[in-house]
Amino acid sequence: MSEPLSTTAAVKPLLEIKNLQVGFQTQNGLVPAVNGIDITLMPGQTLAIVGESGSGKSTTAHAIINLLPGSGRITGGEVLFEGRDLTRLNEKQLEEVRGRMIGFVPQDPMANLNPVWSIGFQVEEAIRANGIATGKEVKQHAIRVLKEAGLADADKRLRQFPHQFSGGMRQRVLIGMGLSSRPKLLIADEPTSALDVTVQRVILDHLATLTREIGTAVLFITHDLGLAAERAEQLVVMYKGKVVESGPSREILENPIHPYTQRLVAAAPSLASRRIQSSQKNLTDLGYSAPRAAAGLDLVEAAEARAGKQAATTTAGGPAIKVDALTKIYKIRGAKRDARDFKAVDDVSFTVERGTTMALVGESGSGKSTVAKLLLRLEDASSGTIAIGGQDTATLRGRALLDLRRTMQPVFQDPYGSLDPLRNIGNTIAEPLQVHRVGDRASRRSRVDELLDQVALPSALATRYPNELSGGQRQRVAIARALALKPEIVILDEAVSALDVLVQAQILRLLADLQAELGLTYLFITHDLAVVRVIADHVCVMQRGKIVESSTVDKVFDNPQQDYTRELLNAIPGANLKLGV
Amino acid sequence: MAFYIFRRFVNYFILSAIATCLAYVVASLALDPASKYYGRNPQPSKQTITNILNGLGVNPDVPVLERLWNWIVNLVVHGSLGNTVGGTSVVDQIVSRSGVSLRLLLIGSVIGAIVGVTLGVWGAVRQYKFSDQVVTYGSYLVFATPTFVIGVLLMIGATALNGAAGMQLINFTGEYSAGLSGSWWDLTADRAVHLLLPTVALVLIGAAGYSRYQRSVMLDVLSADYIRTARAKGRSRNAALVRHGVRVALIPMSTFFAYSFGTLVSGSIMLEIVFSFHGMGEFTLNAITQSDINAVAGSTLFLAVLVLFSSTLSEVLYAALDPRVRN
């Protein structure tokens, strides 16, 4: 990153947000989302806004270019861009600013490209709208923009459609469009949250190089503190629509002042794995142990507790899960009716001891979720065996299969999609009991109360509906539902990936407590290696359907054997931060 | 893409064939073609009636599946759909009448779709504003009004208009003015004037339905991320809505067009009768009242073929709009 320019008195700020207030009009009146924030960004600088969902960080980004969704509107304050107040511009003037002077890279590359128009059309549209080129030059310019964004065969790809692109390639297209007119400011709203860590790293490196070359200032919005600290020289921490702390990234990371920031630092998995490494090298005295305010959320503490427990675990009664040479082949129908085989899972073997946690780590498409489906017998394996508690599951039918399901329950990624919106929480948790005909109405109800208590939710929640709950509460409900049948094994498929860091830390803590209390065996499937350190005992790293490395957590983190594992570890945001060393 | 369309066409072809066979069987079981002869005075002899029924191939003493088989063989080998109870060829009747119906149906459904889609998009963009409310209540009013009432109301309006103008501005009885002769241009103009009111009625019915669906689909699309991205690129709101919104919103509509076509056909049958058009609607209705099995089966086949083509057309439209389903 470039040297901070703020020291030069002659340089005026590029963007100055003064006392900005944004509200959303609802039936109950105006609900404020941003309550008077101040942010100053110098030309060429990178500034990150960090906060959890609902903190108002994205709303701030949208307010700058006045593209607030639905009923949102700016209710006060100024957004000075090169001294001009953007909130006072009319629509026509704003169209001149958008794209041309302020570029925008949106969050979800899957939803931000129109599926029915070709990539070329959408890039050329950005070029035409800003009058960068006309006539035949537009196409040439589009090719140049895409090449810059890192698509080498851009001229061939112009006629392709978004669905023919991977997530990373789409995000490159969006970055290319955002930078196509060499804007002075680029707003990047969680540009890589939907991507794998390794792809995220490559894309953000590329973005940094590009913006440095062009001299574009970047306003970087993210929920990941480690990522923010790694990518930006200035940090702004937002909480409930207010800026709670701002300043140089390193300072905030090393010496967070506001309690919220302290909790954020303690709970960030990306930083935690770094801190765990540090603490093991007896660097604790350098002062990155969690601030006291964050007790109970600190992931380092949790990981250490786990390490102690792990040593004491006895492996009685054989492994809970034993997978041997598991293979799943899908037939893929090609363009000309030819079918070819795709090995989603390729000769995978692993064992999970009772009461321990096995993490299955890999990028999207590595086959880790397919393994979960095979284990749950939601799909049948092409070859290989799965033994649950010593019993081969492939031959189970009817009654016996139902019994298997009872011992093994899943928790899925999306707490919004995995709860039926028309069922109240009590019925949702009781459903597995009804399906398996466990107990009568009264005993089911008391079991629901007991389960809600186990996942630390008030029993009053039983009569509420999912839309009244937060993401973290919903995931607790999903866990309670999984525990209803007193299973021995819980399969957690990206169970914390969709949650904010603080909530994520709480859920991880809950899972650890439940494991200690109930002796559960976890198969923890995730793309986030940072979380693994906190929750798991053993790790299997998967790549293209195969297990490339399998060992204990400490060995994998401290002494990775495979290049791919090293690549994954390096891609953890904040992995390269030199914390006080 | 050609293969995709072809596959869908074969699919619809089989469905149409099954629908037509079912219609034949149901008509054969429900209608009693002999009954009209029993009421005659003097009543024809049993033998005469049997001969007539055998000649038409609708004798209830022959098993229905055997009659169906004969009907299919006759259709495939001779291209014939048998005779009506009046003794004319069903195929000849369909050929002479279909033009009248197709003109009304095609013009009505195409204009209805265009008007409906436009109103739907407009209503979505101006959600809850006065104009949106007017369109909403207007379309519910049309929904709630039986087709023939719409026809009659339009006739009353036209009569009032003619009276006010003091001359016959709008002709609405029959498909063309009786005894008219003249150049091709005069004939066409006369037909166009006669077609006006039933077409307006059909457009109203079609547009009322289409506008509701288009509006709700468009509302979904309006909040799509790529619309915001297009605006962040520097495009104006309207350009982003038209370029990125409408095309996506039309994708589910293209399927809806095909399935709502059937509704329009039944609407046009009523309108043909109200406006005294001698088209397929009148033919179908007469066939049922006269217990004419061959004519019912023939007109069902005609409708099935129409639905076959409109469905295939909607698949072509779908593939043209959405690159994801191609290849």
pLDDT in tens, A324-366: 999 998 887 655 556 678 888 999 999 998 888 999 998 887 8
pLDDT value for A117: 93
A4-18, A299-313, A429-443, B159-173: least confident range: A299-313
* pLDDT greater than 60 at residue A289: no
Q: Are A191 and A175 in contact (CB under 8 A)?
A: yes
Contact between B233 and A65 using a beta-carbon 8 Å cutoff:
no
Which candidate, A563, A537, A536, places its Cα nearest to that of A549? A563
Mean pLDDT score, A20-39 = 89
- Name chain B contacts of A91, Cβ cutoff 8 Å: 236-237
Closest partner residue to B234 (CB to CB) among A99, A108, A118 is: A99
A contact test, residue of B125, B219, B226 with most A CBs within 10 A? B226
Name the residue type at position A289: S
When pLDDT is averaged across residues A191-211 and rounded to a whole number, the result is 86
Q: Is the pLDDT of residue A6 over 50?
A: no
Residues of A with Cβ-Cβ distance to B247 under 8 angstroms: 116-117
pLDDT score of A337: 58
Burial category of B109 from C-beta neighbours within 10 Å (exposed 0-12, middle 13-18, buried 19 and up): buried
Q: Tens digits of per-residue pLDDT, A449-481?
A: 989 988 888 888 888 888 888 778 888 899 999
A293 pLDDT above the threshold of 50: no
pLDDT-derived band at A580, boundaries 50, 70, 90: very low
pLDDT exceeds 80 at position A277: no
- Please give the average per-residue pLDDT across B12-24, as a whole number: 91
| pLDDT for the residue A531 | 84
Kindly state the average pLDDT of the residues B46-70. Answer: 87
- The average pLDDT across A218-232 equals 89
**What stretch of H or E contains A47?**
strand A46-50
CB spacing of A108 vs B225 below 8 angstroms: yes
Q: At what angle do helices A167-179 and A137-148 cross, to 10 degrees?
A: 120
Q: How many angstroms separate the CA of residue A109 from the nearest CA in chain B?
A: 9
Backbone angles phi, psi at A245, to 5 degrees: -160, 140
Reported as a pLDDT band with limits 50, 70 and 90, residue B249 is very high
Distance (Å, whole) CA A172 – CA A150: 7
Q: What is the pLDDT of residue A578?
A: 54
Q: pLDDT tier at A396 (50, 70, 90 boundaries)? A: confident
| Phi, psi (rounded to 5 degrees) for A395 | -95, -5
Q: Is the pTM of this model over 0.90?
A: no
The percent of residues above 70 in pLDDT, for chain A, comes to 88
Q: Which of residues 73-132 of A touch B (CB under 8 A)?
A: 91, 95-96, 98-100, 103-104, 106-108, 111-118, 125-126, 129-130
Q: What is the mean pLDDT of chain A?
A: 84
In chain A, helix, strand, coil percent, each to 5? 40, 25, 35
Contacts 24+ apart (CB under 8 A), B281-285: B281/B101, B282/B97, B283/B93, B283/B94, B283/B97
Measured between alpha carbons, how far apart are the two ends of chain B, in Å? 5
Q: How confident is the model at residue A283 (pLDDT cuts 50, 70, 90)?
A: very low
CA distance B176 to B277: 9
pLDDT score of B188: 84
Q: What is the pLDDT of residues A86-126, one digit of tens each?
A: 999 999 999 999 999 999 999 888 889 999 999 999 999 99
pLDDT recorded at residue A26:
81
Q: Encoding tokens for residue A220?
A: 């970087």
Q: What is the tens place of the pLDDT at every residue in A515-553?
A: 888 889 999 998 888 888 888 889 999 998 899 999 888
Q: Are B294 and B58 in contact (CB under 8 A)?
A: yes
Q: Answer for the pair B138, B230: CB distance below 8 angstroms, yes or no.
A: no
| The pLDDT of residue A275 is above 60 | no
A531: closest CA of chain B, how far (Å): 30
A130–B321: do the CB atoms touch at under 8 Å? no
pLDDT for res A46: 94
Q: Is A466 at the interface with chain B, CB within 8 A?
A: no
What distance in Å separates the CA atoms of residue B9 and residue B308, rounded to the nearest whole number?
8
Report the pLDDT value the prediction gives residue A280, as an integer from 0 to 100: 45
Would you say residue B267 has pLDDT above 90?
Answer: no
Output the CA–CA distances (angstroms, integers) from residue A244 to A186, A236, A257, A431, A439, in the order listed. 23, 8, 9, 43, 50
Tokens of B89: 């060829």
Residue of B nearest to A112 (CA): B226
Interface test with B, best of A90, A96, A105, A114 (most B CBs within 10 A): A114
pLDDT score recorded for residue B118: 94
Interface test with B, best of A64, A96, A112, A157 (most B CBs within 10 A): A112
Indicate yes or no: CB of B248 within 8 angstroms of CB of A114: yes
CB A413 within 8 A of CB A531: no
| Measured distance CA(A354)–CA(A461) in Å, rounded | 32
Q: What is the pLDDT of residue B24?
A: 92
Other Cβ atoms less than 10 A from the Cβ of A383: the count is 11
Which residues in chain B have their CB less than 8 angstroms from residue A178's CB? 232
Q: Which residues of A touch B225 (CB under 8 A)?
A: 106-108, 111-112
Residues sharing a CB contact under 8 Å with residue B67, sequence separation 6 or more, in sequence order: B28, B57, B58, B59
Instruction: Give B252 to chain A, closest Cα distance, Å.
Output: 13
How high is the pLDDT of residue B26?
92
Q: Which residue in chain B has the smallest CA separation from A189?
A: B229
Checking DSSP bridges between strand A234-239 and strand A46-50, what pairing results, if any?
A: parallel
Chain B residue with minimal CA distance to A183? B233
Q: Do A112 and B225 touch (CB under 8 A)?
A: yes
A301 against A221, higher pLDDT: A221
Among the listed residues B258, B264, B137, B255, the one whose alpha carbon sits nearest the alpha carbon of residue B206: B264
The values of phi and psi at residue A20, to 5°, are: -70, 130
Q: What is the pLDDT of residue A359?
A: 92
pLDDT at A37: 93
Query: Using CA atoms, how far apart are residues A533 and A568, in angstroms rounded to an integer?
Result: 13
Higher pLDDT, A398 or A246: A246
Question: How many residues can be counted in chain A?
Answer: 581
> Is B229–A129 a contact, with Cβ atoms under 8 angstroms apart?
no
pLDDT at A317: 67
In this predicted structure, which of A140-149, A301-310, A349-358, B22-31 has the lowest mean pLDDT?
A: A301-310
- Across the range A407-414, mean pLDDT stands at 87
Q: How far is B130 from chain A (nearest CA, A)?
A: 18
Q: Between chains, do B229 and A117 touch, taking CB under 8 Å as contact? A: no
Q: Choose the most confident range, by mean pLDDT, from A49-58, A505-514, A568-577, B206-215.
A: B206-215
Are the Cβ atoms of A118 and B247 closer than 8 angstroms? no
pLDDT in tens, A368-388: 888 998 998 888 889 999 998
Partner-chain contact A65 B230, CB within 8 Å: no
Which tens digits make up the pLDDT trace of B284-313?
989 999 889 999 999 999 988 888 888 888
| Sheet strands (E) in A164-279 | 185-189, 217-222, 234-239, 242-248
Among A300-309, A519-528, B268-277, where is mean pLDDT lowest?
Answer: A300-309
Residue A107 Cα, gap to closest chain B Cα (Å): 9
Q: Considering chain B, what is the average pLDDT of its residues?
A: 88
pLDDT, mean of residues A261-274:
75
C-alpha A12/C-alpha A42 separation (Å) is 7
Residues B106-132 have a mean pLDDT of 92
Res A518: pLDDT: 86
B103-119: average pLDDT = 92
Share above pLDDT 90 across residues of chain A, in percent, rounded to a whole number: 33
pLDDT tens sequence across B186-244: 888 888 888 899 999 999 999 999 999 999 999 989 888 999 999 999 999 989 998 99
CB distance A521 to A490 below 8 Å = yes
Nearest Cα to Cα of residue A104 among A44, A187, A167, A180: A187
Question: Given this model, what pLDDT does residue A516 score?
Answer: 85
> How far does the CA of residue B324 sit from the closest CA of chain A (Å)?
7
Nearest CA in chain A to B324: A163
Alpha carbon of B222: minimum distance to chain A alpha carbons (Å): 10
Q: Which two tokens stand for residue A150?
A: 């890192």
Chain A hits for B235, CB-CB cut-off 8 Å, are 95, 99, 125, 129
Tell me, what's the pLDDT at A581? 30
> In the prediction, which pLDDT does A245 show?
93
Q: Between chains, do A129 and B243 touch, taking CB under 8 Å as contact?
A: no
* Residue B120 to chain A, least CA–CA distance (Å): 19
